[in-house]
Amino acid sequence: MSKPPKMMETQSGGAGPFADFDLSRVQSPCFVIDEAKVEQNLSVLADIADRSGAKVLSALKAFSFPALAPLVSKYLSGTCTSGLFEAKLAKQFYSGEITTFCAGYKETDLPEIIEISDHLIFNSSQQLKRFMPLIQGLCSDVEIGLRINPEHSEGLVEKYDPCAAFSRLGTPISSLSADMLEGVVGLHFHTLCEQEFEPLERTWAAIEPQIQTFLPQLEWLNFGGGHHITRADYNRDGLVQLIQEIRSKTGLDIYLEPGEAVALDAGILVGEVLDVVENGMPIVITDISATCHMPDVIEAPYRPDMLGEAKSGPLHRLGGPSCLAGDVIGDYKFEGSPDVGDRIAFLDQAHYSFVKTNTFNGVPLPAIALWNSETDDLKMICEFGYEDFRMRLHQ
């Protein structure tokens, strides 16, 4: 028998100010992003940058939200992007440096990416060598980096471990050679996924001896993302000390690319009960689809925390309106029995969820609202309808 997939654990820090948010204030389904909480997270990241001397970039793959781009730009050094479209978004809405990494670039995209980006990071020495004449021909001052695979695993779930066996991400550090680094001024690595400081410390201990000989020719090191710096129990002093030591020893600039840390505990996904049926246990059909609105619930998989979940009582299985049998959010306890029309919400949904939504089965996309828990100001940022579904299929 095959083993069941290992579950990731939600890193939600609790309801916070959302405990007092009236779910009926927004349409359903709807993401509600707390501007005040995002700013709190950004201030923590800015403090790390100030104390350590590192440059902190916001990973748009986790939190692409132009409505708060001015706020992000106020606190951080810039953004990291994953290709042409994110780079264009960064250029249009954000300020500061732009670092672009893609596992595989298209030649037709590169001229525009190079024009936009300050750092261009390649996944392999093969693509770097292939495209170097193009870069040189553009007479660009873009700085070239190479992603390395530390061959040191810290991932808790294999599919989210960039250093798992046969990983497609990064040049294996054991094969790194001087000729691969011609024209390269920076190295990038990424081993973490929603993790604390100690895995980063172990990663650096594994990497340092193997790149020691290459450090004199470099200008910067990029420690990638996955750093849960804004989590309450994160060892921030340890991170600051490590970065200070590395900067002092190597003389290099250090970059961090937090994604979820920017928006940790800063959003909820509001939904509504559509039906309650019985099939061995109470089954609650909602207008929130795991498949369409929270795909990491299925992909990770993990069970998101529900706002106000009861501590005792019978379990109710919550799922979406799509035809996919596996469109299941999880099993939850309620105070009493949920009724049609009741509002529910899932915690910590500001990062990765709304950037990954889709319209499978014609399921409508959730709206996106911006709320400030300190002033109670609420405004609708995006609302989606049939045209958004149609435009993905037919112009």
pLDDT at site 235? 98
Q: What are the tens digits of pLDDT across the range 254-271?
A: 999 999 999 999 999 999
pTM, full prediction? 0.96
Residues listed for the chain? 395
User: E strands, 44-109, where?
Assistant: 55-59, 78-81, 97-102
What mean pLDDT comes out for the span 25-31? 98
What mean pLDDT comes out for the span 234-255? 98
| Residue 14, CA distances (Å) to 17, 308, 389 in order | 9, 10, 33
131 lies in the same domain as 229? yes
CATH for 68: 3.20.20.10
| Residue 280, CA distances (Å) to 60, 327, 337 in order | 42, 18, 16
Q: What are the tens digits of pLDDT across the range 203-215?
A: 999 999 999 999 9
What residue numbers bound the domain in which 316 lies? 16-33+266-391
354 lies in the same domain as 259? no
Q: What are residue 89's phi and psi, to 5 degrees? A: -65, -45
305, 309, 314, 318: CA torsion to nearest 10: -50
pLDDT at site 2? 45
How many domains are contained in the chain?
2
Let me know if residue 387 belongs to a domain: yes
**Least confident span in 10-24, 111-125, 367-381:** 10-24
Let me know if residue 199 belongs to a domain: yes
275 lies in the same domain as 239? no
Q: Which among 212, 232, 263 is the end of a domain?
A: 263
Q: What are the tens digits of pLDDT across the range 124-181?
A: 999 999 999 999 999 899 999 999 999 999 988 888 899 999 999 999 999 999 999 9
Tokens in use for 45? 């990241």
What mean pLDDT comes out for the span 302-327? 97
Let me know if residue 1 belongs to a domain: no
What mean pLDDT comes out for the span 220-228? 97
Q: What are the tens digits of pLDDT across the range 353-385?
A: 989 999 999 999 999 999 999 999 999 999 999
Let me know if residue 6 belongs to a domain: no
Mark 322-361 as b/e (b = at least 16 C-beta within 10 Å): bebeebbbbebebeeebeeebbbbbbbbbbbbbeebebee
